Amino acid sequence: MLKNIPPILSPELLKVLCEMGHSDRICIGDGNFPGTAMAKAEGAILLRADGHGIPELLDAILQVFPLDAYVETPAMLMEKMERDKDLEIPVWEQYKDIIAKHDSRGETAVGAYERFEFYEQAKKCYCILQTGETAIYANIILQKGVI
């Protein structure tokens, strides 16, 4: 056990977060995200966080992980497809609130990729963290900054 480390962060995840350097990215995928396929595409590290939701993980990760101050939007969501344009995605508001708690830019630090561009970017991430999140369009990519 360690002091001041959120217990939701597994030893494996902490190791990966520590190994990551400036501008490396982690993709946190929801339960429907094809994490294994994305990780295999470019050799990303695949970690599992089954049974955990993304908001709780995001809050814990951002307690130890600085967002990149050298890019406009170091937190990237997956845009909705046209056929889903009327869907409400309340988890996005949770993400913005969590990011605002940890980054002075608040919700302006959050951007979005078109769905298939998100997949391409996810393949290039250092790590893909597959969660048990049940909300749709809940995927997020975080770019690491410096301390």
How does DSSP assign 85-139, residue by residue?
A: TT---HHHHHHHHHHHHH-TTGGGGEEEE-HHHHHHHHHTSSEEEEE---STT--
In the numeric block, which tokens belong to residue 16?
A: 């990966």
- Indicate which CATH number applies to the domain containing 100: 3.40.1650.10
Asked, for residue 77, whether it belongs to a domain, the answer is yes
Residue 9 lies in a domain: no
What domain range includes position 102?
23-143
Domain-located, residue 7: no
Q: What's the chain's Rg over C-alpha atoms?
A: 14
pLDDT of residue 87: 96
pLDDT in tens, 22-36: 999 999 999 999 999
Residue 48, domain member (yes or no):
yes
- Residues assigned a catalytic role: 22, 68, 119
Please report whether residue 1 resides in a domain.
Answer: no
Model confidence over 15-65: pLDDT tens digits? 999 999 999 999 999 999 999 999 999 999 999 999 999 999 999 999 999
Q: Do the beta carbons of residue 71 and residue 119 sit within 8 Å?
A: no
Instruction: State both tokens at 32.
Output: 């429907």
4 domain-assigned: no
How many domains does the structure of the chain reveal? 1
Residue 127 lies in a domain: yes
| pLDDT in the model for residue 2 | 83
- Residue 111 has a pLDDT of 98
In a domain, 63, yes or no: yes
